């Protein structure tokens, strides 16, 4: 018998490499590692961002929440730019490299800014402007990277490849490992050793992802043999393209500081996009396109409301845990930002169980339609916030609140997330014809972005004065959690109305259990 290793047969899958990694294309572990490190850097810094804004710049809770919401909104809104550059001129690989480099540079800017302040090289208003420039780099860089990573994964497989779905499943689980570790590492470093250490760890994480991408770039081969290097259009000079990206970074750093202006721009763009689809649909004499666009417009509030409620994790809940919760667990002190790891932990734990549960219900013809899942999800999220409100009411005056209440709230809210977030993409994709799907997905991203900004606005209701007593803080957070729970419940009832708008075939969730 020959000692030579037998190579996988590529005859049935021309144009792509196969690996011994569970029989999947060699590029899959490369992309999973890249995205895991990218999420490590993003989620790690995001976990302590609101604390840094309050401590380093003396911002009020309300101002910090608005700036956080603006930054998170731009991360998603600029994904539309990244997708457009990829489709039109650059292909998928180049924006991914550029985005990873910009993200690393943004985190390095934040770390350097903190160091320069400590040494006296930066003073006054320049400190804040450099900080916002770093956030702008991260936001635009993420916008370039985010949509193209998903496109690269899809391109590794033929559309009829039975392993395609498993590849996305491995991707989702793998990247959540990065999200799980990020707050544990970056949050602890920032709170125990200094903010610069937290920013530096995020920069190192993205540098590791960039190294993985550089080392494995030759494995990013499409299954159909097409190039991932450039788009179909006549490409203008790169200096013009990246000059425009640079202007976008400067604009992002401005909009991060002016959330209301950003909100008006996002709302106007969303309205214009819907108007464009209505104009296109009007050309269809059958009226089916117009009905499809109206269905899309009915679905768009779902992701907006979901993100508005969900992002309280990073804002009001984060500050509540820091100020009013007993953070001693089994003799160890847990920093408030580290608790954000619970969300990814519960995703990793619950996602396979939830998929198994839907499969069994489907086998008995009892799986609920997507709008019903939305309603259940919003109900669970509302219950999580009301659980926190109940914990505040039941706690004796002046006593720290038990961590077990917070863990229970995280469990309920995360379970609600899994009922909503993964299904919005599927429902939007089914609501419109394939030729309108690109614009529809762009509008979905803008809806998520506007939801992040609304999350910052909603969190201003939980703003605590600097001289507030414990009793005053308890009252503010208790009322806020009741309001947020009510918003979630109202959104769930509205989502139930989608059953009357979206056809049964489109709301069927048989392909979305994982």
Q: Where are the domains of the chain?
A: 17-257, 276-514
Closest to 199 (Cα-Cα) out of 42, 39, 37: 42
Is the Cβ–Cβ distance between 491 and 454 less than 8 Å? Answer: no
As a whole number of Å, the end-to-end CA separation of the chain is: 42
> Measured between alpha carbons, how far is 369 from 498 in angstroms, rounded to an integer?
10
Average the pLDDT over each of 178-182, 398-402, 502-506 and give the range with the smallest value. 502-506
The top-scoring range by mean pLDDT among 138-152, 368-382, 435-449 is 368-382
Residue length of the chain: 514
Residue 96: is its pLDDT beyond 60? yes
Distance CA 420, CA 417 (A): 5
Residue 12 pLDDT greater than 60, yes or no: no
Rounded distance between C-alpha atoms, residue 338 and residue 257, angstroms: 26
Most confident of 223-227, 427-431, 468-472: 468-472
Question: 482 or 424: which carries more pLDDT confidence?
Answer: 482
Residues with Cβ within 8 Å of 466's Cβ and at least 6 positions away in sequence, in order, are: 60
Give the model confidence (pLDDT) of 154-192 as tens digits. Answer: 777 776 666 666 677 777 778 888 889 999 999 999 988
- Predicted pLDDT at 2: 44
pLDDT at 13 over 50: no
Coil, strand or helix at 465: coil
The rounded percent of the chain whose pLDDT value lies above 90 is 43
Contacts of 194-198 with CB under 8 Å at 24 or more apart are: 194/114, 195/48, 195/52, 195/55, 195/56, 195/114, 196/111, 196/114, 196/115, 196/118, 198/44, 198/45, 198/48, 198/52
- 17-257 and 276-514 agree in CATH topology: yes
- Which class does domain 17-257 fall in? mainly alpha
Distance of CA 263 to the CA centre of its chain: 18
pLDDT of residue 165: 62
Residue 221 contacts residue 25 (beta carbons within 8 Å): yes
**Token duo for residue 297:** 């417009």
Q: CATH: 3.30.70.20, 3.30.1300.10, 3.90.110.10, 1.20.1250.20. Which one for 276-514?
A: 1.20.1250.20
Cβ–Cβ under 8 Å, residues 451 and 74:
no
For residues 91 and 381, the model is more confident at 381
DSSP code per residue over 300-361: THHHHHHHHHHGGGTTHHHHHHHHHB--EETTEE--GGGGGHHHHHHHHHHHHHHHHHHHHH
Kindly report whether the global pTM for this prediction surpasses the value 0.85: yes
Bridge partner list, 332: 329
pLDDT of 223: 63
Q: Name residue 25's beta-bridge partners.
A: 18
Q: Tell me the C-alpha distance between 452 and 463, whole Å.
A: 17
Query: Cβ(163)–Cβ(284) under 8 Å?
Result: no
User: What pLDDT, on a 0 to 100 scale, did the predictor assign at position 114?
Assistant: 75
pLDDT tens track for 227-247: 555 555 556 777 888 898 899
10: Cα within 13 Å, side-chain hemisphere: 17
Of 40, 143, 31, 32, which is closest to residue 98 (Cα–Cα)?
143
């Amino acid at each position: 018998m020959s000692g030579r290793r037998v190579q996988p047969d590529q005859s049935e899958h021309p144009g792509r490499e196969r690996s011994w990694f569970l029989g999947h294309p060699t590029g899959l572990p490369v992309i999973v590692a890249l995205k895991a490190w990218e999420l490590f850097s993003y989620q790690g810094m995001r976990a302590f961002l609101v604390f840094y804004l309050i401590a380093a710049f003396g911002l009020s809770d309300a101002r910090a929440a608005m700036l956080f919401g603006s930054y998170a909104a731009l991360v998603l809104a600029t994904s539309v730019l990244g997708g457009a550059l990829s489709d039109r001129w650059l292909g998928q690989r180049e924006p991914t490299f550029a985005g990873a480099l910009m993200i690393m540079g943004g985190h390095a800017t934040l770390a350097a800014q903190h160091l320069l302040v400590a040494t006296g090289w930066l003073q006054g208003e320049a400190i804040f402007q450099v900080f916002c420039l770093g956030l702008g780099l991260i936001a635009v860089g993420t916008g370039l990277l985010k949509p193209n990573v998903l496109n690269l994964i899809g391109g590794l497989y033929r559309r009829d490849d039975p392993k395609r779905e498993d590849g996305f499943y491995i991707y989702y689980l793998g990247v959540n490992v990065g999200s799980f570790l990020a707050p544990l590492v970056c949050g602890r470093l920032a709170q125990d050793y200094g903010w610069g250490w937290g920013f530096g760890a995020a920069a190192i994480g993205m540098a590791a992802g960039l190294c993985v991408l550089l080392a494995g770039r030759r494995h990013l081969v499409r299954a159909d043999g097409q190039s991932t290097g450039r788009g179909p259009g006549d490409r203008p000079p790169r200096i013009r393209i990246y000059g425009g990206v640079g202007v976008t970074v400067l604009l992002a750093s401005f909009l991060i500081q002016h959330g209301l202006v950003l909100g008006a721009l996002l709302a106007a763009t969303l309205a214009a996009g819907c108007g464009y689809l209505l104009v296109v649909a009007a050309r269809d004499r059958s009226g089916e396109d117009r009905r499809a666009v109206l269905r899309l417009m009915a679905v768009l509030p779902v992701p907006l409301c979901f993100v508005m409620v969900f992002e309280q994790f990073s804002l009001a809940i984060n500050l509540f845990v820091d100020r009013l919760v007993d953070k001693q667990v089994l003799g160890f002190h847990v920093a408030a930002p580290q608790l954000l790891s619970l969300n990814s932990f519960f995703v990793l734990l619950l996602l396979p169980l939830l998929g198994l549960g839907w499969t069994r219900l489907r086998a008995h013809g009892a799986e609920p339609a997507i709008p019903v899942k939305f309603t259940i999800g919003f109900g669970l999220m509302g219950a999580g916030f009301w659980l926190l409100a109940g914990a505040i009411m039941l706690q004796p005056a002046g006593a720290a609140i038990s961590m077990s209440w917070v863990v229970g709230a995280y469990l309920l809210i995360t379970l609600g997330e899994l009922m909503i977030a993964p299904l919005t993409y599927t429902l939007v994709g089914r609501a419109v014809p394939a030729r309108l799907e690109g614009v529809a997905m762009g509008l979905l991203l803008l809806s998520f972005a506007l939801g992040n900004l609304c999350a910052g606005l909603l969190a201003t209701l939980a703003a605590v004065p600097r001289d507030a007593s414990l009793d005053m803080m308890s009252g503010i957070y208790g009322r806020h959690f009741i309001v947020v729970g009510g918003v979630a419940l109202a959104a769930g009832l509205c989502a139930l109305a989608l059953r009357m708008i979206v056809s049964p075939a489109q709301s069927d969730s048989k392909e979305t259990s994982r």
